[in-house]
Structure 1
């Protein structure tokens, strides 16, 4: 262990109970999204803690979709005051719980168990204490850390991170961005993009006794979905060049018919039907081109049988990737190896990440956190307390190495 890691470990160990209590307090706020409740209450807890840690918090109130988010906001803070800049980014909304008891954190055998511990309230605790340690131990030189904590990552992040981009609160000159997603100690230097569609098919209703007078939207839907299923199989066979967790499929992944429905009654020819298409596209793919291709397949299939169809693009989010040989990536790998005592691993996240909002501006952006993806949305979600402190040390040292 190097002297600087030992110094950071000592600083963090003295505050291990503080860190655990903050995470327990955050877990107790049921900031489930959807529906997007208690966001303002959770942000206030974060603002209070950041103020106590000397991180100069600012609460930015947002206007979310009407009736969809409760008190949407961003908490923005700063450590240091130099010109060089690195971003720490996180989200405090969580996926819905399987049971209300998940909002009472449980400490057991070195773990904290509860909704959001891994994804990613535990990561937020690591980032806040990492930033505070870097400030208190004078690691930041002539630079600063800017912390962004947003409220809607689990439902697309357009309101929160999208506001940061639209309001020009992300400086393209930043040296790097880190988000504390549950990477299990790996460095996520890339993430997939997303295309989500809703396909509506129009028919004409008729009573079963006069079914010949109707136009069966369900039958048309089956015909239209078939080329989309073939397209999904083709895309799954196009692997990424980025390294991935060996348990994750390397091809672009699509779900056809995740949601579907239609009709008004069992004895009526369905006059309408719909299905969804949701895809996670590898960074090598041209999203705009694939959206045109996918839409064209649907419209061509509808034209073949004279079906009325409309296609709505529900989500179009770009992929992101930073080469692991980039100086910012190499610096992060060195710090991770130094703190963990094992070589750093680079992987592409199988889903989408908010690194995309920064990568679009040319900022090297990475996901790195103590939580584990395989438990993150489940009933036994947890984070290891020692790993949470190790991540805080990585954040502090990485900021110091880039900014000095």
Structure 2
């Protein structure tokens, strides 16, 4: 039996185990925001990793925002050699559209539920891939370190950022894989991000004396218009990096994803705010674009005498590993061998936690069983067969690099 068939047979015998684990994980409502049930989800992961022989530990994170419930990183290891490959994932999920999404459904070879695609199904693939590589003796003189973090959906500074700040990521690692919903493709690149909150201060007044107030909403409209024009301009600046055919190649910016203000319908609003969230192509200089955005807002405020304050809530660089890098070429060979078709390299339309590793010079990739087009939706799902294929890729890739 060749190595691919050996790994696939090992995983096929555990297909029900894998499905049951995903059902347990989906049942934990680890929504972020607000960041609930993180410790409960981590406890399940630790228990399952221990059962799989992955030597887990829970790393508590001090000083995290108070709204996060028991923020932590779950860390495990397969093998004990010096050479190293990282598997990385997150167990927080975006808010559900309905509470029923936290009861997983199995239907037509799919598991449906919140986080099935992004990325609790990918976590199952990683854990079983690591366990298969260890039990089948594929790791040689190397080891896999699994990092599972708690806050990817809200910026990832608490979880992956803690790993980086605490020196828990070894720059000598041969590669990193994260099981984001790449739909069978290899995400070797991801966009950067700039996120802002713009607050406008006015002066309240009763509608009967509206002439004495300063309408923060009117100022918001004036300040937001040049940002909207900027967003349209950036959407027309296309990347040269290959992307999925369904993904727009321009930098994507949302103006007013969150907005609000005022105290009552009959009171001149004394305050207002809106957000700006952008996913920037690798060709863009984030420092330059942040200055441009800030200047547009400040200049518009001066035109109408508005009082504004701008808070940068996120600034994260893009990341890219060249498709001809030896670690990329090895991954492409493994993916082709398992999937029976040539691997395709693409840039993720959003940001990825590969950036925390790529900044240290580690070749980093996204490859997972889910699909981006169903992630975060009301019928989010993952194919059970795709979970097993992805687990085989993880096991064989680690074996290829470490044996």
Q: TM-score range by the shorter chain?
A: over 0.9
> What are structure 1's unaligned runs of at least 5 residues?
none
Deviation at 1:64, TM superposition (A): 5.3
Matches for 1:145-164 after TM superposition, within 5 Å: 145-164=144-163
Residue 17 of structure 1 is matched in structure 2 by 16
Deviation at 1:207, TM superposition (A): 3.3
Residue 223 of structure 2 is matched in structure 1 by 224
Deviation at 1:79, TM superposition (A): 0.8
Listed one character per residue, the Cα deviations across residues 96-116 of structure 1 (whole Å, up to 9, x for unaligned) are 222222222222221112221
Residue 86 of structure 2 is matched in structure 1 by 87
Secondary structure, in 3 states, of the residue corresponding to 1:258? strand
Deviation at 1:66, TM superposition (A): 4.2
Listed one character per residue, the Cα deviations across residues 278-324 of structure 1 (whole Å, up to 9, x for unaligned) are 11111111111111111011111112222211111111111111111
Deviation at 1:211, TM superposition (A): 3.1
> What are structure 2's unaligned runs of at least 5 residues?
none
Residue 336 of structure 1 is matched in structure 2 by 335
> CA 1:381 to 1:200, structure 2 compared with 1: closer, same or farther past 3 Å?
same
Residue 391 of structure 1 is matched in structure 2 by 390
Residue 362 of structure 1 is matched in structure 2 by 361
Question: Quick check: 1:205 aligned with 2:199?
Answer: no
> CA 1:60 to 1:266, structure 2 compared with 1: closer, same or farther past 3 Å?
same
Conserved 8 A contact 1:64-1:72: no
Secondary structure, in 3 states, of the residue corresponding to 1:375? coil
Deviation at 1:197, TM superposition (A): 0.7
Deviation at 1:63, TM superposition (A): 2.6
Deviation at 1:204, TM superposition (A): 2.4
Deviation at 1:368, TM superposition (A): 0.3
Residue 381 of structure 1 is matched in structure 2 by 380
Matches for 1:312-327 after TM superposition, within 5 Å: 312-327=311-326
Deviation at 1:117, TM superposition (A): 1.2
Matches for 1:287-306 after TM superposition, within 5 Å: 287-306=286-305
CA RMSD after TM alignment: 1.4
Conserved 8 A contact 2:200-2:220: yes
Conserved 8 A contact 2:354-2:364: yes
Moved more, 330-339 or 222-231: 222-231
For 2:90 and 2:137, the matched residues in 1 are separated by: 27
> CA 1:203 to 1:340, structure 2 compared with 1: closer, same or farther past 3 Å?
same
Residue 71 of structure 2 is matched in structure 1 by 72
Residue 285 of structure 2 is matched in structure 1 by 286
> CA 1:82 to 1:118, structure 2 compared with 1: closer, same or farther past 3 Å?
same
Secondary structure, in 3 states, of the residue corresponding to 1:373? coil
Listed one character per residue, the Cα deviations across residues 335-358 of structure 1 (whole Å, up to 9, x for unaligned) are 100100001011111111111111
Deviation at 1:125, TM superposition (A): 0.8
Matches for 1:241-320 after TM superposition, within 5 Å: 241-320=240-319
Moved more, 390-399 or 370-379: 370-379
For 1:260 and 1:374, the matched residues in 2 are separated by: 26
